[in-house]
Amino acid sequence: MHKSTATENKTSETPARVTLSEKLQSLLYCLAIATSLFHLWVNTFGTLSEFWRNSLHLGLLGAMGFLAYPLRPKNPSRWSSIIDIGFSTLMLVVAVYFILAENFLIERNLELTIFDSVIGIVAIVLTLELARRTTGVIVPLLSVFFLSYILWWGKLIEGLFYFRGMRLNRILYRMSFSDQGLFGITTSISSTSVFMFVLFASFLLKSGGTDFIIKLSKALTGKIAGGSALVAVAASGLMGTISGSAVANTVSTGSITIPLMKRTGFKADFAAGVETAASVGGQLMPPVMGAGAFIMSQWTGLPYQTIVSVAFLPALMYFATIGFYVWLEAQKNQLEAIEETSPSIVQIIRPGIPFILPIVVLVGLLILGYTPTYAAGYSILVTIVSSWLSDRPMKLKDILDALAIGAKNMVVTGILLIAAGLIIGSIATTGMSITLSQVLIDWSGGNLLLALISIALASLVLGMGLPVTAAYIMLAVLAAPALENMGISLLAAHLIIFWLSQDSNVTPPVCLAAYAAAGIAETSPLKTAISAWKLAKGLYIMPLLFAFTALIDGSWSERLVVFVFGLLGLFILTTAITGYCFRPLNIGSRIALFGLSLLIFLLMQ
- pLDDT tier for residue 1 given thresholds of 50, 70 and 90: very low
Integer CA distances (angstroms), 382 to 178, 338, 353, in order: 37, 35, 12
pLDDT at 8: 42
pLDDT at 5: 46
Rounded (5°) CA angle 563-567-569: 115
Answer whether residue 228 shows pLDDT above 70: no
Answer whether residue 352 shows pLDDT above 70: yes
Which of 393-407, 500-514, 520-534 is predicted most confidently?
393-407
pLDDT at 144: 93
Query: What is the pTM (predicted TM-score) of this model?
Result: 0.79
DSSP lists the bridge partners of residue 584 as 580
Kindly report which listed range (276-285, 321-330, 345-354, 377-386) carries the lowest average pLDDT score: 345-354
- pLDDT tier for residue 241 given thresholds of 50, 70 and 90: low
pLDDT at 4: 46
Answer whether residue 103 shows pLDDT above 90: no
Kindly report which listed range (122-131, 132-141, 312-321) carries the lowest average pLDDT score: 132-141
pLDDT at 551: 94
Query: What are 446-485's pLDDT values in tens digits?
Result: 889 999 998 888 887 777 667 778 788 888 888 888 899 8
Answer whether residue 338 shows pLDDT above 60: no
Q: What are phi and psi of 586, to 5 degrees?
A: -80, 175
The answer to whether the beta carbons of residues 497 and 534 sit under 8 Å apart is: no
pLDDT at 240: 67
Mean pLDDT on 504-524 = 80
Query: What are 248-266's pLDDT values in tens digits?
Result: 778 777 877 888 788 778 8
Mean pLDDT on 69-81 = 86
Nearest-CA neighbor of 481 among 439, 532, 517, 518? Answer: 439
Nearest-CA neighbor of 551 among 310, 321, 305? Answer: 310
pLDDT at 191: 93
Kindly report which listed range (6-20, 34-48, 277-291, 334-348) carries the lowest average pLDDT score: 6-20
Q: How many CA atoms lie within 13 A of 57 on its CB side?
A: 34
Mean pLDDT on 344-349 = 74
Which of 294-308, 342-356, 497-511 is predicted most confidently?
294-308
pLDDT at 20: 55
Sequence-distant (≥ 6) Cβ neighbours of residue 545 within 8 angstroms: 314, 551, 562, 566, 601, 604
Domain boundaries, the chain: 20-178, 187-394+431-553, 554-605
The answer to whether the beta carbons of residues 512 and 246 sit under 8 Å apart is: yes
Which of 221-230, 261-270, 402-411, 460-469 is predicted most confidently?
402-411
pLDDT at 432: 77
Nearest-CA neighbor of 563 among 322, 327, 312? Answer: 312
Give percent above pLDDT 90 in the chain.
Answer: 34
Which of 435-439, 541-545, 583-587 is predicted most confidently?
541-545
Answer whether residue 341 shows pLDDT above 60: no
Query: What are 154-200's pLDDT values in tens digits?
Result: 888 887 788 888 888 889 988 988 888 899 888 998 899 889 988 98
pLDDT at 563: 95
- pLDDT tier for residue 492 given thresholds of 50, 70 and 90: very high
Mean pLDDT on 568-580 = 91
Integer CA distances (angstroms), 64 to 8, 402, 415, in order: 40, 16, 11
Distance separating alpha carbons of residues 469 and 198, to the nearest angstrom = 15
* Residue 248 one-letter amino acid: A
Answer whether residue 520 shows pLDDT above 60: yes
Mean pLDDT on 61-88 = 90
pLDDT at 445: 81
Handedness of CA 58, 61, 66, 70 (dihedral sign): negative
- Averaged confidence pLDDT in the chain: 84
Mean pLDDT on 409-438 = 84
Q: How many CA atoms lie within 13 A of 245 on its CB side?
A: 22
Give percent above pLDDT 70 in the chain.
Answer: 91
Mean pLDDT on 435-453 = 82
DSSP lists the bridge partners of residue 580 as 584
pLDDT at 226: 61
pLDDT at 11: 39
